[in-house]
């Protein structure tokens, strides 16, 4: 069963805590991406990685960190420095131009 998985589907955290969102793909894609989506809004790019052990900041990287130690995995950490972390987080991957998305993780800060 190929595709992109994100876990957990729903995540709650207390203010001031760091939290890590998981993204795994078995599509053998080189590039992976993290987006943030706020209610009624479009997608904003947080970080992306075009190859293992390399990643670049997107448009809204402040308060987030990533790693890309394996081709299949691209975890996103939402740190306490992110002022407004409550949002829907989407992971995507691509082999060329077309990006395919995971089901998303809804993060709520209590």
Partner 1 sequence: GESVGLHLPTLSVQEGDNSIINCAYSNSASDYFIWYKQESGKGPQFIIDIRSNMDKRQGQRVTVLLNKTVKHLSLQIAATQPGDSAVYFCAENEGKTSGSRLTFGEGTQLTVNP
Closest C-alpha among 101, 105, 55 to residue 85: 105
Among 65, 73, 86, 94, contact with partner 1 (rule: CB under 8 A):
94
13 touches partner 1 (CB under 8 A): no
Q: Which of 64, 87, 102, 107 binds partner 1 (CB under 8 A)?
A: 102
- Report the candidate in 57, 46, 53, 52 with the shortest Cα–Cα distance to residue 107: 46
d(CA 106, CA 21): 10
Shortest Å distance, C-beta 16 to partner 1? 27
The residues binding partner 1 (CB under 8 A) are 4, 6, 31, 41-43, 45, 48, 50, 58, 90, 92, 94, 96-104, 106
């Amino acid at each position: 069963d190929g595709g992109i998985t994100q876990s957990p589907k729903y995540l709650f955290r207390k203010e001031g805590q760091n939290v890590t969102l998981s993204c795994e793909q078995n599509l053998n894609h080189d590039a992976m991406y993290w987006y943030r989506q706020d209610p009624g809004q479009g997608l904003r790019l947080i970080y992306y990685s075009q190859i293992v052990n390399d990643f670049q900041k997107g448009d809204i990287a402040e308060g987030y960190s990533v790693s890309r130690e394996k081709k299949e995995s691209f975890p996103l950490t939402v740190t306490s420095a992110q002022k407004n972390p409550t949002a829907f987080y989407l992971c995507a991957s691509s082999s060329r131009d077309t990006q395919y998305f995971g089901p998303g993780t809804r993060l709520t800060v209590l």
